[in-house]
Structure 1
Amino acid sequence: MIIKNRYSISFYTLGCRVNQYETRAITEEFIAAGFDIRKFGEACDISIINTCAVTGESERKSAQYIRRASKSSQSVMVIGCFSEYKPEEVGKLPNVYYVGSAKIKSSLVSKAMDILDNKHKLIALSNSNIHEYDNLNIGYYPDSKIRSYLKIEDGCNGKCSYCIIPRLRGEIRLRAFDDIIEEAKRIADIGCKEIVITGIEVSAHNQLPDIIRAINKINGIERIRLGSLDPRIFDDNFLDAIQCEKFMPHLHISLQSACNRILNLMKRPYTKAVAAGNLDKTLTHIPDILLSVDVISSFPTETMSELNETIEFLIYYPISHIHAFPFSKRAGTVAAEMIELITPHEKKLRNDYLICEGNKIRNAILERQIGKTLPILVECSNKNIYVGYTTNYLEAEFESDTDLRYQTVNVKITGFRNEKLIGIIK
């Protein structure tokens, strides 16, 4: 569909990498239709807000940005997990003309045109029993020269007691292998150097090791990374795949806790021993790998000694970042019915403590980088200060009078500040 009258549109994305990917795919559909893409906050005809509902704070921020969009846009379309979770609440927000799904986000151009031409309001939530992958695609128009997300699946079949996402995203739907690789080639062709393979449950794709190996063979792609992983994924086939040349030595693990009682209450499908065994095996194969983890603090009935058990577990491993967040009650989940004995004030104190301990682990890792010469893929600059990431996903900065953006340069690490490595060009 090519529009005759050129309309303008802006986008804002909250939440996960999957949302980031989907917003980019939707943006490309509107570019192809002839829309003028505006920065969020600039005056435009219509805005699309891709929302999140993983926590109560995510909902609050989603509603905040919907209201912000209504001040600069004549009409607002809302998609994603918040609109799937609470459609009536979203539909009452100012200038909202479309309340869409978290499961199907393609073909929004025709709906936007109907709103712009006819001012029709629409609540278009999808049936929860969706079995087909929503065929969104990217790579037809230049975007980032550094990093692109590549979505390989949607949905989750997990039964975690605290999580509302399986209900909102639906059951697992896998993207076809050939479609994934063709998109990876398009991403390379438009000049992007790094691909981050992502999905709601990346580990669920039964061809993940083969996907990694195939992308490794694509000219132009220099770095491959993965989204959040189930701690059970580390079989020999997977470990072999992540030792290919272009796969970067960093993994993000959806751990949540390292206390067996809490893992059982969470209905996580592994024990502390299983997680430890798989991480140990990974470190044996890739000694220089760094890890980051998700951890939920203050799960109902969790004691301080149980939180400390998780922290002691993390201290043993090379954890460069802990994505720590306090338990957030989600109506419709099993955990929402559990008795909470931890006050909001205590929740904040515990989560701050977890973050502080995580920073100590990270600083020890940063300290060990001093004196090493590391390859940095440069992403941006501020005058003569350049910033990029190491292969194991540590942020680094250095000075240069030469424009080195989008290049990989060797930097000798001399120190760190504000959780960022500092170095000089070798």
Structure 2
Amino acid sequence: MKTIAFYTFGCKTNQYETQVMKESVLKQFKIIEKNEYADIYVINTCAVTKPASDQARQLLRKLQKQNPNAHVIYTGCDSYLIDKVDYLDSRNVHIVGNSYKNDILSALSCTRDTSLQTKTYSIEKCVSSWDKSRPFIKIQEGCENFCTYCVVAHLRGKQRSKDEALVLDEIKSFVNQGFREIVLTGTNIGSYKDLKQLLKKINQLELDFRVRLSSIEPMYVDNELIDIISDGKFAKHLHIPLQSASNRILELAKRHYTSVDFEKIVNYASLKGIFLGTDII
């Protein structure tokens, strides 16, 4: 049986998508450790910062030199940004957009496809296993905020939400496997079609577990959402990126809130016993 190895850079969403890819090839390939020689390497890239892109490109060149006969599938967000000068010219390199993660082996039939169509794809695929202590469940894809400093909205396509029933089934499957904490993730989870309703339905599941939300933007956080998180099956923690306390900078960055809005969130979350984490540029 031929072998395949996976490298993952970046966010929780990427980690979930790597698991989707792994489960899709189990019957055809033996998945081996990253430091072993493989017939196929898959690099699931990140482009949220320049160092993230640089690391993935360096890895691509390294694998080409170490194992020139292997096929290297370079997917993820940096696939849209990488240029031909960034790697050795070879028919064994396949630069493909995010949609190929749903059928990763189809990438072997082309050398490059980062067309617009690869940014808008179904997100209904689910995973059935996880090799770490806290499984991630991708509930949403895409971003339409277009903050001036962020490239992600240009790479992940339009906002779309996974069917609520699929999310609930994934949660139940993981809890039945013995997992006790599950993380909901996505490119912009606050834009999920009805996040509050989903959280309420999760809270109604008669199972022993808790759910943690990954990063959520301030414009999607209100008192009702905080009330839901403060009760029931949820980790009493939210990560809400502030980015800047300057209203002028927030406006220039096209962040649709003010420092006063953020302060109100902090005050109410504190009142309800919710711990907060944040990012500041």
TM-score by length of 2: 0.90
Distance 1:190 1:155, change over 3 A: same
Instruction: List runs of 5+ in structure 1 lacking aligned partners.
Output: 1-5, 297-426
Task: Select which of 25, 44, 59 maps to 1:65.
Answer: 59
Task: Select which of 116, 119, 122 maps to 1:133.
Answer: 122
Partners of 2:36 and 2:200 lie apart in 1 by: 42
- Residue matched to 1:278: 265
Is the Cα contact below 8 Å between 2:223 and 2:265 reproduced in 1?
no
Partners of 2:244 and 2:100 lie apart in 1 by: 32
| Offset from partner CA, 1:225-269 (integer Å, 9 cap, x none) | 111111122224312321232211111112111111111221111
Higher share of residues assigned strand: 1
Partners of 2:89 and 2:146 lie apart in 1 by: 32
Which deviates more from structure 2 when the two are superposed, residues 221-230 or residues 75-84? 221-230
Q: For residue 147 of structure 2, what is the amino acid of its counterpart? A: C
Which deviates more from structure 2 when the two are superposed, residues 74-83 or residues 33-42? 33-42
Distance 1:103 1:155, change over 3 A: farther
- Residue matched to 2:231: 244
Deviation at 1:220, TM superposition (A): 5.3
Matches within 5 A, 1:20-99: 20-31=15-26, 33-70=27-64, 71-72=66-67, 74-89=70-85, 92=88, 96-99=92-95
User: SS at 1:291's partner residue?
Assistant: strand
Distance 1:44 1:162, change over 3 A: same
Partners of 1:142 and 1:132 lie apart in 2 by: 23
Q: For residue 280 of structure 2, what is the amino acid of its counterpart? A: V
Is the Cα contact below 8 Å between 2:180 and 2:208 reproduced in 1?
yes
Deviation at 1:190, TM superposition (A): 2.7
Matches within 5 A, 1:8-407: 8-31=3-26, 33-70=27-64, 71-72=66-67, 74-89=70-85, 92=88, 96-111=92-107, 115=108, 120-127=109-116, 132-139=121-128, 141=129, 143-144=131-132, 146-218=133-205, 222-286=209-273, 289-296=274-281
Distance 1:228 1:42, change over 3 A: same
Is the Cα contact below 8 Å between 1:8 and 1:36 reproduced in 2?
yes
Instruction: List runs of 5+ in structure 2 lacking aligned partners.
Output: none
Is the Cα contact below 8 Å between 2:119 and 2:155 reproduced in 1?
no
Higher share of residues assigned helix: 2
Partners of 1:51 and 1:221 lie apart in 2 by: 35
Bigger relative CO (Cα 8 Å, ≥ 6 apart): 2
Distance 1:93 1:248, change over 3 A: farther
**Aligned Cα root-mean-square deviation (Å):** 2.2
Sequence identity (%): 32
Q: For residue 275 of structure 2, what is the amino acid of its counterpart? A: L
Partners of 2:146 and 2:105 lie apart in 1 by: 34
Count of residues in correspondence between the two structures: 279
Distance 1:153 1:192, change over 3 A: same
Deviation at 1:104, TM superposition (A): 4.7
User: SS at 1:43's partner residue?
Assistant: coil
Q: For residue 102 of structure 2, what is the amino acid of its counterpart? A: S
Q: For residue 136 of structure 1, what is the amino acid of its counterpart? A: K
Is the Cα contact below 8 Å between 2:60 and 2:87 reproduced in 1?
no
Q: For residue 63 of structure 2, what is the amino acid of its counterpart? A: A
Q: For residue 235 of structure 2, what is the amino acid of its counterpart? A: M
Is the Cα contact below 8 Å between 2:123 and 2:161 reproduced in 1?
no
